[in-house]
Each structure stands twice: as C-alpha cells, then as structure tokens.
Amino acid sequence: MTSTIADRLLDWYDRHARALPWRARTGEPAPDPYRVWLSEVMLQQTTVAAVKPYFAAFTARWPDVAALAAAPEEEVMAAWAGLGYYSRARNLVKAARAVAGRGGFPETEAGLRELPGLGAYTAAAVAAIAFDRRAVVVDANVERVVARLFAIETPLPQARKPIRVAAETITPETRAGDFAQAMMDLGATICTTRDPRCLLCPLAEGCAARAQGDPARLPRKTKKKPKPLRLGVAFWIERDNAVWLVRRAGKGMLGGMRALPDDGWSAQADGSGEPPLPGDWEALGRISHTFTHAQLELAVSRYAGDGSPEGEGEWWPLARLEEAGLPTLFAKAARLALA
C-alpha cells in the first residue's frame, strides 16, 4: 500500500505540480533552503495568494539568509506588516542570525528544530523539501488528505496523532520533498474542504472515506468556543501633515510594531478609554479585527487640541504612511481617520 500510494501521488505531481516561486520544478535540483524556510514560515496560517507578494518583496530586499540576518529587526517587522502573527517575523530574524552564525542551515530535522521559531512542521518541511531527508510533513492540507484516505473518525485536534502515524506509513524513503509537496497540492487543489474532486484524485482508489460515500465530512472538528470580545480605543494625533506613531512593546500582541497610541484595549462598553492627551477628542467610528484568540472592536478618536504627546514616538509623514509598516489593525484605523 505504501509504495502504491506514493507512486501514484508522485506520478500525479510530476504532471500537475503547482508552479510556486519558492519551489523547484520536478527534476531540478532542490531549492535554496533559505527560500524553502522563508516560504514555510510565511505560509503558516496564511494563504499562498497572500504570501506570494511578500515572498517576492523579501527575497528581492534580502536575497539570502546572510542579508536577512544583517537586517534591523524593525525593518523586517515593517516589511512583514499585513501578514499577521508577528511573532513569526521576530523569530525569522532570530533564526536567520543563528543560521548565519553557524554558516548555513542544519540539514536534519533535529538540527532544524533547534532554530528559533521552527516547530515540528516547519523543520520537517525544510528537511524534506530542501535536503530531501525523509520526514513526515503534515500541514492542514495533509491532515485532510490523510484523514479521508484512512477514514480517521477522531475529531481534530485530537486526531493529529493518529493522522501523523498514518502519514508515516505512506511517506516514501526517496523523493521525500516531492511527496510532501504533492500531498500539500492534492489537499489544496483536489481533496478540498468542500466538494472534493474525487474523480480527478490519484488516490481515489483505496480512499476509505470515499468508499463510505461522504469524504467531505472528514476530518471531523471539535466545535470551537466563541472568541471573547475585547474593546479598545486608538488615538489619532495629527499635526503638519504627520501622525504620531509609537512602537509597541517587544513582547505581546503586535510586539515591536509601529502603531497608533491606544488605551491597552481596556475600553468600557461605551468606547471610552484613557487618552494620551487632555483635551477634546472627536469620535471617528469603530473598526473590528479578529485575532487567533479574541475579537477586537477598536474605537478611533481624533485629537482636536494643540497639546504635544509625551513619551517615545515619532511624527510620521502622512504621505509616506504606507512605509510605516502598520499592522493590519492599525492600518484599518488609519484608513478610517484619513477618510
């Protein structure tokens, strides 16, 4: 069964592999580990379509790991703005510096796990794709394919262990990187969440979920609890065609990013929060944003006085606001204020 699944999948991949900027074509030498690692970090909980322009911008600006290692962290964070999950960007810089310090990427899964920010999935993906080491690579697409192939009824996230065990049984000794990418492509284009295209699937024969008649019901998922709602206020202070921006603390939500001043997201239900300056404030409206663990509603207030903000910050020209690298939340607030 193992060789049959791998052979059929790899034959399909040779003909239908997606052309992606971080990927080597079938038959070509393995891609640069830097490009594999960078793309895998960017792709965590982010779509391919969203990642492509960021990947192009990063590799144009920092073409290798040494260049990224030498970059100031604040510049990397600004370039990352909009991709979300900003701890990834901080770990990206730390890992780049660790790799540059040792003279190159480790080639084993265990060695890659020692780098900052590389968990089990990313280490396995880089080991397989960049170094063709046999590694069991399981992302959300692979989870779906394996859960259906073996009809694993245990709901996620509890199903992750049996899914990994099953994936281990079908991972080949050779062409490990191509096999990993083939599984990802199959899940992304054929074995999709809704309406899987079983008639086009190279693994349809022998798929236990298809034999049961309803592959789309798997994988089962535990019902998520509603996300708690947090309230906050962002403050827009404008002067001479510039806006006052602050740098958020290095740790915590959106750590290290430029942002508008805010009240620490501790507003009352009426949207009131402690402003950074005394005086008149004009309510501009509200924006909402979804984080992994919470939903945030942010009121935006504009300063109508002539005082000066205290503490560390910078006046950023409105004409160059896009260059500030504001995270999506504060970019929304800025658009509201400027409208």
Q: Is 271 exposed, middle or buried (0-12, 13-18, 19+ CB in 10 A)?
A: middle
What is the arrangement of strands in the sheet containing 281-290, beginning at the earlier edge strand? 229-236, 295-303, 281-290
Residue 20, both tokens: 């992606």
Give burial (CB, 10 Å; 0-12/13-18/19+) of 137. Answer: buried
Closest CA to 256 of 106, 133, 101, 77: 77
Dihedral pair phi/psi, residue 118, rounded to 5°: -95, 105
Alpha-carbon span 278 to 282, nearest angstrom: 12
Answer yes or no: are the C-beta atoms of 243 and 237 closer than 8 Å: yes
Residue 40 a catalytic site member: yes
Q: Which of 28, 40, 75, 282 is catalytic?
A: 40
SS3 state of residue 298: strand
Cα–Cα distance, 4 to 220 (Å, whole number) = 26
Length of the chain: 339
Measure the CA–CA gap between 184 and 188, rounded to whole angstroms. Answer: 6
Catalytic residues: 40
